[in-house]
Amino acid sequence: MDRPVQTIAVVKGAPSEAVQDLFRTLVERWQPSVRLAGVVAESHGLAGRACSAGYFRNIGTGELFPIFQDLGPGSTACHLEGAGALTAAEAVRRDIAAGCDLVLLSKFGKLEAGGEGLLDSFRSAIEAELPVLTSVSPAFEAAWIKFAGPSFAVLPADTAKIDAWRALAQSRNGAA
CATH of the domain at 151: 3.40.50
Domain count, the chain: 1
| Identity of the amino acid at 33 | S
> Does residue 139 lie within any of the structural domains?
yes
What is the pTM assigned to this prediction?
A: 0.88
Number of Cβ atoms within 10 Å of the Cβ of 42: 17
Average pLDDT over every residue of 131-146: 95
What domain range includes position 57?
8-172
pLDDT for residue 151? 84
Segment (H or E) for 12: strand 8-12
pLDDT for residue 170? 84
> Does residue 93 lie within any of the structural domains?
yes
> Does residue 1 lie within any of the structural domains?
no
CA distance 1 to 164: 19
> Does residue 163 lie within any of the structural domains?
yes
